[in-house]
Chain A
Amino acid sequence: MLQNKYTFTQSSAELEIVGLPDYSKSDSEKKISIISKWKLSIIDQPDIEGGLDHLKLILQSFYKYSSLIILGKEEKLESKLIDINLDEDGLHNLLLKSTKPQVEPLKLKLGNAEFTDVLNCFDQLKQSENISFNFQTISPVYKKQGFNLRNKNKIKNILYPPLLAFLSISLITSSLLYLYESNQKRNEDITFKSKL
């Protein structure tokens, strides 16, 4: 039985998917429902290959990480197979952990351009009509965070300015009151002396 192969290309990245149609679901001959292997090639970087589970996890991590970057949240993501983080130079560090024993993890450094190329390749795969694959669990849904009491810094930021303002106002007014009182007493003394 011949396997089908599809490639998704975006500038410096190329994603190759190899698999078979699922005839039990009455797929056409050109379709891929059972992915047997995949390969991601990026210019100047080593090729990444794996099985269906690896692809799912990598896709999930890339989608989640891209959402984190867009939302400006913590730009570090760790999972069983892949760790992604943003370094000081604005480059994306990928650490791919092999499932095979005694194989050292692979470190990749992707620039913003390469990272978006890879992400666009994954988007093309997701939109492809020729590849049927359950992607439903991949897109993370982020909602706008409301007031979170557990965030200590947030509470500090909210409470400290008005507290400091109140303290400074009370200190200034109390010192002014003292001056006002002593001033008033002196005035009284002066009037008393003048009467004498």
Chain B
Amino acid sequence: MYSLSNKLSYQEIFPNKVSIWKLRCNNPLRKTFVSNNLKYHEFDALLKITSEMTKYLYPYIRSILLSLDNYNSRPELWNDFHNRLIDLIKQRFNTESILVKKLINFENSKNFYSKILLTLAMCQSEDGYDRLKIYLLNL
């Protein structure tokens, strides 16, 4: 993320890796939640970085989506992704929260994760960046 932010000339917003980590801690679901107001240019920079990252990750995202589309015949990739994501959430998020409990429920969270992946797959271009922005501003 840090190297991508440098590539996109965001040195002023993210001068080091810690500055990115601090912004990530604005997520109220995290164990290390710090209540700070996210500024618009920081929000915009994070969106640009996400959009740029999906360009590199698109082949992986696509493969997982393909596995979900053909879940009856090839469920392995989707299940691996789903389990790994739940593990990561358990490690980093506050598992006492009801929202997080819903997220780590294997059966109920499938639709939510598939929507996240689909949104990421659609946000790898300039128009995709707009799509991601529309999605987040309408939450």
Kindly identify, within residues 60 to 87 of chain B, every residue whose CB is under 8 Å from any CB belonging to chain A: 62-63, 65-66, 68-70
Inter-chain contacts of B117 with A (CB < 8 A) = 112
Q: How large is the interface on B (under 10, 10 to 19, 20 to 34, 35 or more residues)?
A: 20 to 34
With A70-B122, A116-B118, A144-B137 already in contact, the answer to whether A111 and B69 are too (CB < 8 A) is yes
Chain B, Cβ-Cβ closest to A144: B138
Partner among B62, B70, B130 whose Cβ is within 8 Å of the Cβ of A116: B62
Inter-chain contacts of B122 with A (CB < 8 A) = 66, 70, 116, 119-120
Kindly identify, within residues 78 to 94 of chain A, every residue whose CB is under 8 Å from any CB belonging to chain B: 90-91
Q: Mark A121-148, 1 if CB is under 8 A from B, else 0.
A: 0011011000000000001001110000
What CA separation (Å) do A111 and B73 show in the bound complex?
Answer: 14
Contact, CB under 8 Å: A142 / B138: yes
Contact, CB under 8 Å: A90 / B124: no
Inter-chain contacts of B62 with A (CB < 8 A) = 11, 113, 116-117
A176 within 8 A of B: no
B24 within 8 A of A: no
Count residues on chain A whose CB falls below 8 Å from chain B CBs.
Answer: 25
Contact, CB under 8 Å: A116 / B127: no
Partner among B66, B126, B134, B137 whose Cβ is within 8 Å of the Cβ of A123: B126
State the main secondary structure of chain B at its contact with A. helix
CB distance from A62 to the nearest CB of B (A): 10
CB distance from A193 to the nearest CB of B (A): 57
Q: Mark A61-81, 1 if CB is under 8 A from B, else 0.
A: 001001101111000000000
CB distance from A109 to the nearest CB of B (A): 10
Inter-chain contacts of B70 with A (CB < 8 A) = 111
Residue of A116, A117, A119 contacting most chain B CB atoms (<10 Å): A116
Contact, CB under 8 Å: A67 / B114: no
B119 within 8 A of A: yes
CB distance from A161 to the nearest CB of B (A): 19
Contact, CB under 8 Å: B128 / A123: yes
What CA separation (Å) do A113 and B77 show in the bound complex?
Answer: 14
CB distance from B132 to the nearest CB of A (A): 8
B56 within 8 A of A: no
Inter-chain contacts of A113 with B (CB < 8 A) = 62-63, 65-66, 69, 121
Listed in ascending order, the chain B residues whose CB lies under 8 Å from chain A are: 58-59, 62-63, 65-66, 68-70, 114-115, 117-119, 121-122, 124-128, 130-131, 134-135, 137-138
